[in-house]
Amino acid sequence: MDNPANEEPSADGDVFGLRGKVMLVVGGGAAGDGIGNGRAAAILLARAGAEVMVVDRKLDLAETTARMIRAGRGRASTFAADVTDEDACRDMVAATVDACGRLDGLVNNVGIGSRGSVVASSLSDWQRVMRINVETMFLASKFAIPAMIDSGDGGAIVNISSISALRPRGLTAYSTSKGAVIALTRAMAVDHGPDGIRVNCVAPGPVYTPMVHAGGMSDTAREQRRRASVLNIEGTGWDVGMTVRYLLSSQSRYVTGQTIVVDGGVSLTGPSRDSAS
């Protein structure tokens, strides 16, 4: 039997092993020309040679991301879908396979924030957070996994959680939903490892994105978040996107069921109550 330790990774210039792969990025739009987590991931995956299907509830936001990819000579298609709807998720995956011929990777990047304890939160708010932050990942994966299996080479999924799952701070419904994302990630990794499908999770800290900007964050609050990093720098969507690309690439071929925290060390220090991360 050959010793697999003697098998070196490919050195043919395809550093990430993503050339010719098809990646589905759900929540791949962002306001204006801003760089959110999903848009950054889509652009970086395309730069690595993947063909990307960019999905967003608003088609124009997905189209902006696709234009950015094409401007860099990458390949991208777009699809509008409300991924809280089961039929929309089925159609989204079918459209990807129809347009691109296969499916190799999925990024689940849809989510909303919420504040308050179980006493302060309404049942409708709790249900809405769980539906958008957790159920969308269940639905997208439900249809993406069979398509990856049909493609013949396994695949990879990355779910976006948050450090709020690991460090609760007054955002109870949000923290619970993001904790559920981590549990879902681990369960899917076990369930579908035999199919050759890896499933991992990224837990961003307080990165500055178009969603945060649209929320009206003050310069003072933004500076406070930067200073919370032990590196004394501000995180961006690019930082999350680079981690997503790694987890979808052949560089992480032996990594599954894991949660990678991308927070500049914020969670190493005392908690602070700011906007949802």
Query: Which domain does 91 fall in, by range?
Result: 22-265
Contact 178, 133 (CB under 8 A): yes
Give the Cα separation of 184 and 171 in Å (integer). Answer: 20
| E strand or H helix that includes residue 82 | none
pLDDT at 272 over 90: no
Phi, psi values for residue 137, rounded to 5°: -70, -40
Question: What pLDDT score does 54 carry?
Answer: 98
Residue 17, domain member (yes or no):
no
Question: What pLDDT score does 168 carry?
Answer: 86
Residue 2, domain member (yes or no):
no
Question: What pLDDT score does 276 carry?
Answer: 43
pLDDT, one tens digit per residue, over 130-159 is 999 999 999 999 999 999 999 999 999 999
pLDDT, one tens digit per residue, over 64-118 is 999 999 999 999 999 999 999 999 999 999 999 999 999 999 999 999 999 999 9
What CATH number is associated with residue 54?
3.40.50.720
Catalytic residue among 174, 208, 246, 254: 174
**Would you place residue 164 in the very low, low, confident or very high pLDDT band (cuts 50, 70, 90)?**
very high
- 174 is an active site residue: yes
Domains identified in the chain, total number: 1
pLDDT, one tens digit per residue, over 105-127 is 999 999 999 999 999 999 999 99
Residue 16, domain member (yes or no):
no
pLDDT-above-90 percentage for the chain? 77
Contact 95, 54 (CB under 8 A): no
**249-277 average pLDDT score:** 83
- Please state whether the predicted TM-score (pTM) of the whole model is above 0.85: yes
